[in-house]
Amino acid sequence: MSRPQNNENLMSLADQLVWAIEEYVKGTLDDIKGAGWSETDDTLEVLGEFNSHDTKIFPSATNLTCTFTAHADANTWGAWTEVTDSGANTLTTAFATKPGHVTAILAENTESAGEIWMIEISYGDNRTRAGSMRFLSASVGILPAIQQIRLRSGHIPAGETIYGRLMSSAAGSETVQVHIRYFLHT
């Protein structure tokens, strides 16, 4: 549908609204196609999957932790490292055969209070950025549940290595323990 001309009657406004909605939906579908979806998968069902799905948690057991380490210098990113838990399990393994995305990161524990932290998630040899978050640690130790940040990362293709890195507002190679919520596409 071509864009309706701006007239002063009500039908024209309705036509313009329909055109705007169609353009928005086309843009959303283009985003999904750019994330690797095919023409046959670009349906309302697929769009619904993005908004309502069963997330999984990494690390997958309560006795495991996932720790990010900041650079020794303040306000400098730490090294990209593969996202691994204390049991040597990797988030990459979860994405080995299916693409997906990270939906949230929960900061569970920090070494210092009163610092600002930033985390980035990426994938692949080029460290393609999939998402980032920022939070404040108001206390040392277990943090309140409000530290869960909804991430909505970019699409992570199947078989790619998943990396993370951390920045702190203070010096000292300090660490943050997190858990990561993710969703695999069917």
Q: Are 157 and 137 in contact (CB under 8 A)?
A: no
Alpha carbons 67 and 178: distance in angstroms, whole number: 6
Token pair of 134 as six digits: 């920022």
97 DSSP assignment: S
What is the reported pLDDT for 127? 96
Alpha carbons 130 and 162: distance in angstroms, whole number: 9
Between 172 and 154, the higher pLDDT residue: 172
Share above pLDDT 70 across residues of the chain, in percent, rounded to a whole number: 63
Read off the pLDDT of residues 68-111 as tens digits, 9 standing for 90 and up.
999 999 999 999 999 999 999 999 999 999 999 898 888 888 88
Handedness of CA 55, 94, 92, 127 (dihedral sign): negative
Read off the pLDDT of residues 31-65 as tens digits, 9 standing for 90 and up.
555 555 555 555 656 555 555 567 899 999 999 99
Whether residue 150 has pLDDT greater than 50: yes
